[in-house]
Structure 1
């Protein structure tokens, strides 16, 4: 049978009506009809694969709940977390894929239904195995073997739920997928919508909104202090004005002395967009750009952003931090980013760099203060003689480890 697209879109509209804070994410999904999909599934690039038979036999209200279920996998980054879990525990294969999918469902199904979204029959919930609500996917994987959920062998929410590619998926080169910057922008807008409507979202969503881009760790305060220190050194942003005469003029009759007016500093942000920097780390960098704008009095014209992998892109003036298009994905050479920042006119008073440090650095300190927001990496064998070598920024940079 053909896909009843009108019914499917009506279900999405119902989901938006009862969960308005998820509207940006729900409308960002691109529908792909595919009869080989068991029900509905998503991939990491925000495509939603739909079985026509599944849509035909589901009531609209329950279908709306499936919309919310699938988009929750993507908002909570289950594909990245699933890949990380598999790597850390060497857990691969179809059985592990199913375990991760079930654990991811346990995380989201305990609080997305109700209030206009009836829970479909057979939906995986923690009570099936006698587990408590409110835990994360990784916690459920650590608590139970999930072998008691054998009747869920049909479950398949796609690679967006666990990081395992499916035969029906179009892959990273397929049409209509979202870039990683677009995906982070959607997450940012949904998190802002949840925080802007206190009390209207379940606890699980509120927790996600607070932690998705703002982990409760001291690095945010440390980074803010480092940036303020970099832009407030003597001589930064100073200028003389006669609009308000200096108080010293009173000691020199007939002489009008100018006062020193402090102007906000100019900041150039260089963001490492190489393939080794994750989507979540780029999202953190974009939120820090917004914080830097607030630190200079909201003057967006004083903050510019440079994307840099092996080459530096054009310095982009700030309009909205979440709307910045970060370009890259190759190797890394931040020397090009520093050179581009120092060619910016007027020259910046401070350079803020977000990177994992796996890059060559300028041989000499730049002419302005530098702050590095460092995405940490474990020791790894490199081209260095020391097998525990960890790439590190130079001593002339003020370094704050993020996360």
Structure 2
């Protein structure tokens, strides 16, 4: 760096705005993000870079100097840096195992971005990082490119060092090293600069950045609808869909926790048994020993037409994983299928044997009653349903977990207040079976 980071001068700001126009013409659905970044001057940087707070660091020489980039080159660089922010490469890099290679992730992030820019018709400078330049296929995520690069580096230790051009990289907003003189975090509300931050360069808070991502994702999908199928890069369509899709992390964590707590609570109960006398000795009296309960779990599955096979499999996978981790053996797990046509619960051996049928209107009370009538009775009952069913009016003699798979488009009957309820969002783009 040949000088401190500062606000852009008037002529530099005009040059940036010109590049923003070029970038917006190439990818109009990115306009919201292009106007959200806070441009700053970073003399001597030699490139463009971003930080995690949506500040865009630009070498003034590339804007107005003798070696300034052409509008096409500058617009492409601007789109590249904005993509790092939209794809949240900073947070994704933080999720990688330690130690982390900044060089490898910078290359991986560039590869994830540049194949989509090329597919969108953006004219990138010669020599930019692309999947083909790394010897890898198009269309992968940065994490996948990163894993491939790290694996290759294990066989060839000097590989990553040879790929390092000595430049500053794309900045902390790209999940790599911060540029020299990077500004501190903005105020909490993101509306003004903090201490030591030039006016007009406050950046965005995490919440504001999330809103920008969603706005751009909506614009991407609307553009695809208006222009027709195949007009958007596949990776960009995937990003927009995942950004707007309901998070599936929360429900899996909640379902696992609910099943784990129910199984642990049931296992903590103890019974008296005379099969093994107690170690306590009382003259003339044989005392029973305490024996832990062998937990039994019954899973009741709604097989109405509105249930989705892949949603059901995902939920069953979570339940099954928890039961295995809790050492609940298969012989103590029963699976009942509530047939929508007959209303008669049927025992099935596995998820693959479950057949989703038409009819609707399943009464899951029948399945719950059948589970409780079985002998020995279960300690935990897990119901997988779309929620369109009446529920028992009184608590049952087992812990009840209601896993409701829904897209949220209609109001389902309220689950019992004494039961544990986990809402599972239907997988994006999946129709009911």
- Normalising by structure 2, report the TM-score: 0.48
In structure 2, C-alpha distance between the alignment counterparts of 1:119 and 1:219, rounded to whole Å? 39
Q: Give SS of 1:197's match.
A: helix
In structure 2, C-alpha distance between the alignment counterparts of 1:218 and 1:153, rounded to whole Å? 38
Whether contact under 8 Å (2:109, 2:174) holds in the other structure is: yes
Whether contact under 8 Å (2:49, 2:179) holds in the other structure is: no
Whether contact under 8 Å (2:119, 2:233) holds in the other structure is: no
Partner deviation per Cα, 1:264-307 (whole Å, 9 max, x = no partner):
xxxxxxxxxxxxxxxxxxxxxxxxxxxxxxxxxxxxxxxxxxxx
- Which consecutive unaligned segments of at least 5 residues does structure 2 have? 3-8, 154-158, 187-193, 255-401, 405-416, 428-433
In structure 1, what is the equivalent of residue 324 of structure 2? none
In structure 1, what is the equivalent of residue 169 of structure 2? 156
In structure 1, what is the equivalent of residue 81 of structure 2? 70
1:187 to 213, 221, 225: 213
User: How far 1:36 sits from its partner (Å)?
Assistant: 4.1
Q: How many residues align?
A: 230
In structure 1, what is the equivalent of residue 19 of structure 2? 11
Partner deviation per Cα, 1:25-46 (whole Å, 9 max, x = no partner):
0110010101142311111111
Max Rg structure: 2
In structure 2, what is the equivalent of residue 399 of structure 1? 422
In structure 2, C-alpha distance between the alignment counterparts of 1:13 and 1:116, rounded to whole Å? 16
In structure 2, what is the equivalent of residue 82 of structure 1? 93
Q: CA RMSD in A?
A: 3.3
User: How far 1:112 sits from its partner (Å)?
Assistant: 0.7
Q: Measured at CA, do residues 218 and 144 of structure 1 come closer, stay the same or move farther in structure 2, by a change above 3 Å? A: closer
Whether contact under 8 Å (1:31, 1:50) holds in the other structure is: yes
In structure 1, C-alpha distance between the alignment counterparts of 2:235 and 2:57, rounded to whole Å? 26
Q: How does 1:314-393 map to 2 (within 5 A)?
A: none
2:223 to 186, 197, 205: 197
1:104 to 101, 106, 109: 109
User: How far 1:218 sits from its partner (Å)?
Assistant: 9.9
In structure 2, C-alpha distance between the alignment counterparts of 1:51 and 1:171, rounded to whole Å? 19
Q: Give SS of 2:118's match.
A: coil
User: How far 1:171 sits from its partner (Å)?
Assistant: 2.2
In structure 1, C-alpha distance between the alignment counterparts of 2:80 and 2:135, rounded to whole Å? 21
Q: Give SS of 1:399's match.
A: strand
In structure 2, what is the equivalent of residue 346 of structure 1? none
In structure 1, C-alpha distance between the alignment counterparts of 2:90 and 2:138, rounded to whole Å? 21
User: How far 1:401 sits from its partner (Å)?
Assistant: 6.9
In structure 1, what is the equivalent of residue 361 of structure 2? none
In structure 2, C-alpha distance between the alignment counterparts of 1:201 and 1:28, rounded to whole Å? 22
